[in-house]
Structure formats: C-alpha cells, structure tokens
Amino acid sequence: MTQPKSSKWFLDYLSPNEAHMHGITDVVYTKKTAFQQMEILDTESYGRCLALDGKMQSSEMDEFIYHEVLVHPAMLTHPEPRKVFVVGGGEGATLREILRHKTVTHAHMVDIDEEVVMASKDQLPRYGAGAFEDPRTKLSFMDARRYLEETDEKFDVIIIDISEPVEEGPAYLLYTREFYRLVTERLTGEGTIALQAGTTSVGKLINLTAVHNTLSQVFPVVVSMQAAIPSFGLPWGFTLASKKNDPRTFTAAQVDEMIKSRVTGELEYYDGDAHRFCMHLPKYIRKAIAEQQYVIEDNAPLFTYN
C-alpha cells in the first residue's frame, strides 16, 4: 500500500461522493472576495495552484494542458484572429496563450472578480507571464454578459474561461442559449469560440452534453474535446463552436504548419498529432452528446453538482 508523506492536504470535493486530495506544503494566499473563496496553495505534486470555492482551478504543473486545449484549436479555426475577447480567465494564462498568436492586435479580458486577477498577478506570475502588461491587452472588471450586451464591438474569437454553473454564482447565465446567441452576434463572420465544459467522467456528462447541444442551436459547427488535466482528479471536457470553419477537416500537417507560422514559442500539449487526439472522442461520450436534447436557457439553467 502506498504510504502518505504529506500531513497537510487540500481536499477537493468533486461531487458529494468523490474527492481528490492534494498534499500541500504552503498556503500562499487566501481571500474571500466579493464573489468567491480564493486560495493559492503550494502542492507537493502540482506546484502552485489556484482554487476557487474549494475547487482546483489550475496548477502550475498542468495548466498548460487546460489553456492550450481551450485556446489554440479555437484560434486556429479562425484564419486570422485579430480581435479576441476573453470571458473570465482570471489567472491570465488564457490571455498568455492568445497573445502567442502573432495575428492578434487586441485581446480584451472581462473578469467579474478583480481580486482574483490581482492576486494571480502577484502570486501566480508564471501563469500570466507578462500577458497583463502586453500592450495588446485590455482588462475590465465587470459582468461579461452585460459588457457584450452593451457593446457593439465584434471579435474574431471569444474564449469563455469561467467556473462551472452553480446556483450561488452568476456564472450560470454564461452557459445559456441566450448568452451563446449574444456571443454569435458579437463574432465576425468566421468567428469561433471555446469553453471548458465540465468533467467527462462516466455518469457525469450532463455539463458537456448540454453545453454541446445548446451551442448546436446557434452554431453550425460544434466540436467537443476531452483532455486529462491530472490535478482536476477527473477527465475534462472542452467545446469549440464556429460560425463557419470546421477544425476536424485540418490534417496534422496543416495544424503543425499553422502553429509554426502563427504561434510564437513552443507549445507543450498541442500540435498536429495532439489535434487528432483532440478532434476525436470515445464512443460513449459521442453517444451521450448525440442523445442529449436539453437546451440550457436563462429560464432553464444548468446547475452542476445538483
């Protein structure tokens, strides 16, 4: 039997009947913000981590998986993304990945929780890696839905990087057909979006399948992906939607070529081969998506963990 070395643990309840325990070495920062409980912890296995409301959001060791899957497939699905909008994205790593695309001239991130962003800048500097200081970046602290309702700007790519929908939080209105409709209106003609869509664990596919089905009401192209982000304790889903282009038609060579010409630096997770891995799914997940008929609406919202 494997013997524990840690005496101090972060206990992340994935559901009322399942939890993942992380040995911790330090509590770097904790704060009850206006919106959520934030914790920055040093863990034995995953380095420095951010948790919100008791749930692991990202870790230094494997955040590259989450952020590359979230950002790059969507960015490459657009032929030349210049203006990008980020909903949420507190830690700055989503912004960091977006700014690696040479075509980008404007990246506007709107997060409701200024305290999380500020603490991330201070305590998680590797996440943003200078993204907040990039001259192409614009940062606002407000409800992203309201922002999109009030603006008439258009964006080539919109990345939605928010927590899961829970009853206590405002995030659930960023998962509805009405919101996605609004998003399409703020996208240019070849616009694409991507978002994290909750766990893909067996028996817990409601989040991914409902998001997929809801997006299918307003986008012609919808692609769900699965990634293993070990610090999450469960496999995770992501969904990409596009007004025109379908990334499933890209060959591995094309993806490698696009990355080479459009992206600065070295990616760690995503390339042509990984694109194949991303564009395909196990049969039971595809089947669950195909069978899902629920459309998330403002009046019929999805609440995870209910």
Q: What are the residue numbers of the active site? A: 161
Residue whose CB is less far from its own copies, 55 or 78: 55
State the first-to-last Cα distance of the chain, in angstroms, to the nearest integer.
34
Cα–Cα–Cα angle for 294, 297, 302, rounded to 5 degrees: 65
Given phi > 0 = left and psi -120 to 50 = alpha, else beta, which region is 47? left
Give the three-class secondary structure for 131: helix
Q: For residue 59, which of 17, 20, 104, 6 has the smallest C-alpha distance? A: 20
Residue whose CB is less far from its own copies, 158 or 302: 302
Residue whose CB is less far from its own copies, 42 or 143: 42
Q: For residue 231, which of 92, 26, 66, 46 has the smallest C-alpha distance? A: 46
CB of 58 to its own copies, least distance (A): 12
CB of 62 to its own copies, least distance (A): 5
CB of 286 to its own copies, least distance (A): 7
Residue whose CB is less far from its own copies, 54 or 301: 54
Residue whose CB is less far from its own copies, 170 or 182: 170
- How many Å apart are CA 118 and CA 97, to the nearest integer? 19
- How many Å apart are CA 46 and CA 62, to the nearest integer? 7
CB of 269 to its own copies, least distance (A): 5
- How many Å apart are CA 19 and CA 36, to the nearest integer? 20
Residue whose CB is less far from its own copies, 177 or 262: 262
What's the distance, CA 283 to chain centroid? 23
Residue 87 Cα distances to 162, 196, 251, 252, angstroms:
7, 12, 29, 29
CB of 255 to its own copies, least distance (A): 11
CB of 293 to its own copies, least distance (A): 21
Contact 61, 17 (CB under 8 A): no
Cα Rg of the chain (Å, integer): 18
Q: Write down the residue that tokens 């307003």 correspond to.
A: 218
Q: Write down the residue that tokens 């929780």 correspond to.
A: 113
